[in-house]
Amino acid sequence: MGKNNSTGEEVQNKQVILKDYVTGSPKESDMYIKISTLKFQVPQGSNAILVKNIYLSCDPTMQFQIRKAHKHHSDYYTPGSPIDGFGVAKVLDSGNPNFSASMLGITAYAAIYEIGSLKKGECVFISAATGAVGQLVGQFAKLIGCYVVGSAGSKEKVDLLKNKLGFDDAFNYKEEPDLDAALKRCFPDGIDLYFEQVGGKILDAVLLNMKFHGRIVVCGMISQYNLSEPEPLKNIMQIAFKRLSIKGFTHRDYHHLYPKLLDTVLPYIREKKIVYVEDIVEGLENGPAALVGLFSGRNFGKQIVKLLHQ
């Protein structure tokens, strides 16, 4: 981790800055690039950590953080401040001997192994299935021995689900005039577990196709994020009729499971039983476009910004 072993030279530091609080759909013009200088050294006696970012993650939840909060949230951005998030970095200098790093991947693990309590032979539906989390949820479910179907927004993404990620079936929701019929085609006997990331019309159709005592694990509802008024659900009484269990969650509640995640995932990676699809753009100046593209489905897999260093 180092201990004040840098030279203290000044270097350029590039940041994406939030111009103003966002309303409606985020736009590239809501952000701008700022270049400043900083010293390549942690001040003596400080607990600070100096890192060099290599990869940065673009996540749908960031769109909440660029809006004005109704009450104080320490993780919300303010105009004029840099937009931060998760990523991969190299520690250059550290005054904190207790610092340790972790990773996210916990979302998919918690959804399947902790919240969903998935069992072999069950029927699983995943919306936004080619995204950062959905692709892992589907593969975990397949490894347990489940029948897995995903929805996505293009023919190419459907092909990815069926031919690379190992899903049993998939469909392009944009080409389905009747989502209820599409789900009945894929799940003639109903859905045991739905991993929810989209909301709106897809969720409404899913409610009609859940089995009695089915489970819905809610990770997000990306179709609703930028609407002034969320779409109403017509089939909400199905929750009572079918005695459904619905649980919302965030990865922040499950970081303690990180060792279990490694124990589960690392053997699968070594055995090449899990693949991961990433959509990588190069250069921080392309970060705003990459983030905005999440909300139109432009990304193909996990959206990552690779930083270019001289």
- Same domain? For 226 and 299 the reply is no
- Same domain? For 138 and 235 the reply is yes
Q: Tell me the pTM.
A: 0.78
Q: What residues contact 85, with CB distance under 8 A and at least 6 apart?
A: 56, 57, 58, 59, 62
Q: Where residue 168 sits, what CATH number does that domain have? A: 3.40.50.720
244 within some domain: yes
> Per-10-residue mean pLDDT for the chain, 310 residues long?
53 89 88 86 77 86 79 72 85 70 75 94 97 93 98 95 97 97 98 96 98 96 86 96 96 89 91 90 92 85 81
- How do 49-57 and 302-306 pair as beta strands? antiparallel
- Same domain? For 282 and 239 the reply is no
Query: Which range of residues forms the domain containing residue 171?
Result: 106-255+262-269
Using a 10 angstrom Cβ sphere, with 0-12 exposed, 13-18 middle and 19 or more buried, the burial of residue 288 is buried
251 within some domain: yes
Number of structural domains found in the chain: 2
- Same domain? For 57 and 79 the reply is yes
3 within some domain: no
- Same domain? For 199 and 112 the reply is yes
Count CB neighbours of 51 within 10 A: 15
